[in-house]
């Protein structure tokens, strides 16, 4: 796998070389090469998921057979129906969606504001605030799980949506990203805005926000997925089936007691279904990357 990675990296320069130079020729070899390299990248990147999908269409016997079957088989419908029924999917999808959207939106909102303050204002404790936020990255989740649970217990938030989401908003990635982005905005733009008489909030709203769409979209994707894929925290904090999320349901298909043979095909069917909403978000948000580009050029 490492060798493949290295090959990809060397290939990139070749591709970049070829991509632009021979633009006027009838057959665009450069573009073809880029296509080929991209397909190679995708083959490596997406193979695990392709394979997961393949397994989800097989019977258990086919899954363990040698040589391995690398093409879809005929058990797709029964596996998906079976997995759907075993995991109470409807409610769980809803809970996961609520959790993921709330976390993503909350994080983006609070981080945008704090990064704005840190980059564009000089105030006592500015660096302290930045490091205080940044250091939240530095303590692994399992360490503070038990004591965060205690805090939630004190607040009476066990088995509630706010207990599920708000503690996970305490994270630094988004603030850090906004800081990185604001630092790339040319000073002239701020000066121009000030000449127009724009105050700080006006500048944030009418200048920074439109410029940030690409980043917000990218961030929304990763934060949505971060929230969607949470496992330990929702496992701890939810005490009823009605509050459970899809990843917990999916984990329930995977034998963990070591006394049962895994039903690989059902596990993979569940995994594919749990994957669809995040993929939908990725596809949807991708338009915004491009939109961000267009508006940045205005």
Partner 1 sequence: MRRRLSPFAPPLAALALLSATLLGPAPALAKTEIHFWHAMTGQLGEAVTELAKQFNQSQGEYEVKPLRKGSYPETLTAAIAAYRQKSHPHIVQVFEVGTQTMLLSGAVHPVYQLMKEQEIPVDWKGFIAPVVGYYSKDGNLYSMPFNSSTPIFYYNKDAFQKAGLDPNKPPVTWTQVEEYSRKIIKAGAAKCGFSTGWPSWTMVENMHAWHDQPFATKRNGFDGLDVELLINKEFGVKHIGQLAAWQKEGVYSYGGRAGAADPKFVNGDCSMYIQSSALIGGFTRGVNFQWGTAPLPHWGAPYKKATSIIGGATLWVLKGKPAAENRGTAQFLKFIADTPQQMWWHVNTGYLAISNTAVKNLEEGYHFVRNPNQYTAFAQLTGLPPTLPPALRGGKPAPVKPERVATPNSQGLRLGNFVQIRDVIEAEMENIFAGKKSAKQGLDDAVAKSNQMLKEFAAANKQ
Partner 2 sequence: MKRTVFRSRWLPYALVLPQVAVTIVFFFWPALKSLQLSVYRVSPFGDRSTFIGLENFRTLLADPEYYQSVLNSFVFAAGVTGLSVLAALVAAGLATQKIRGLSVYRTLLLWPYGIAPAVAGIIFLFIFHPAYGVLPYFLSFVTAYEFNWLLKGWVAMTLVIVATAWTHLGYNIAFYLAGLLAVPASVLEAADVDGAGPVRRFTAITFPLVSPITFYLIVLNMVFAFFESFGVIDAVTKGGPGHATEIMVFKLYKDGFIGLNLGSSGAQSVILMAMVIVLTMLQFRYAEKKVTYR
- The three-class DSSP label of residue 148 is helix
Q: Does 1 bind partner 2 (CB under 8 A)?
A: yes
Per CB under 8 A, contacts with partner 2 among 78-107 are none
- Identify which of 128, 132, 96, 126 has the alpha carbon closest to the alpha carbon of residue 226: 96
Candidate residues 25, 27, 61, 67; the one interacting with partner 2 per rule CB under 8 A = 67
Select from partner 1, partner 2, none the partner in contact with residue 138, using the beta carbon and a kind-dependent cut-off of 5 to 8 Å. partner 2
Per CB under 8 A, contacts with partner 1 among 259-288 are 259-263
Select from partner 2, partner 1, none the partner in contact with residue 153, using the beta carbon and a kind-dependent cut-off of 5 to 8 Å. partner 1
Q: Does 238 bind partner 2 (CB under 8 A)?
A: no
139 touches 184 (CB < 8 A): no
CB atoms under 10 Å from CB of 157, counted, come to: 17
- Identify which of 117, 223, 124, 123 has the alpha carbon closest to the alpha carbon of residue 179: 117
Select from partner 1, partner 2, none the partner in contact with residue 227, using the beta carbon and a kind-dependent cut-off of 5 to 8 Å. none
Dihedral sign computed on CA atoms, order 132, 135, 141, 143: negative
CA distance 149 to 127: 29
Candidate residues 250, 266, 269, 273; the one interacting with partner 2 per rule CB under 8 A = 250
In whole angstroms, the minimum distance from the beta carbon of 60 to partner 1 comes to: 6
Segment lying near partner 1 (by CB under 8 A), choices 71-79, 113-121, 151-159, 279-287 = 151-159
Per CB under 8 A, contacts with partner 2 among 20-49 are 20-21, 31, 34-35, 37-38, 41-42, 45-46, 48-49
Return the structure tokens found at 173: 């990635």
Q: Please, what is the angle between helix 173-182 and helix 89-120, to 10°? A: 40
């Amino acid at each position: 796998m490492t060798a493949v990675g290295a090959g990809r990296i060397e290939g990139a320069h070749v591709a970049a070389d070829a991509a632009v130079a021979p633009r006027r020729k009838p057959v665009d070899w450069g573009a073809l090469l880029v296509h080929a390299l991209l397909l190679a990248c995708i083959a490596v990147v997406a193979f695990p998921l392709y394979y997961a999908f393949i397994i989800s269409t097989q019977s258990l016997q086919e899954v363990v057979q040698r040589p391995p079957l690398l093409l879809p088989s005929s058990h797709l419908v029964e596996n998906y129906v079976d997995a759907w029924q075993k995991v109470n999917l409807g409610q769980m999808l809803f809970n996961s969606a609520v959790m993921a959207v709330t976390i993503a939106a909350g994080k983006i909102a609070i981080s945008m504001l704090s990064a704005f303050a840190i980059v564009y204002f000089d105030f006592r404790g500015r660096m302290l605030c930045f490091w205080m936020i940044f250091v939240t990255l530095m303590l692994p989740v399992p360490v503070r799980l038990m004591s965060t649970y205690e805090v939630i217990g004190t607040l009476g938030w066990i088995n509630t949506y706010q207990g599920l989401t708000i503690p996970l908003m305490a994270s630094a990635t988004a603030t850090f990203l906004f800081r990185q982005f604001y630092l790339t905005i040319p000073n002239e733009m701020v000066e121009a805005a000030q000449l127009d008489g724009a105050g700080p909030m006006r500048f944030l709203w009418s200048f920074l926000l439109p410029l940030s769409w690409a980043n917000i979209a990218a961030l929304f994707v990763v934060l949505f997925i971060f929230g969607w894929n949470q496992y330990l925290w929702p496992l701890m904090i939810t005490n009823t089936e009605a509050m459970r999320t899809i990843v917990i349901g999916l984990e329930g298909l995977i034998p963990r007691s070591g006394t049962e043979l895994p039903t690989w095909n059902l596990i993979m069917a569940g995994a594919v279904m749990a994957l669809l909403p995040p993929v939908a978000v990725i596809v949807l948000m991708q338009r915004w990357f491009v939109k961000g580009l267009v508006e940045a050029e205005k």
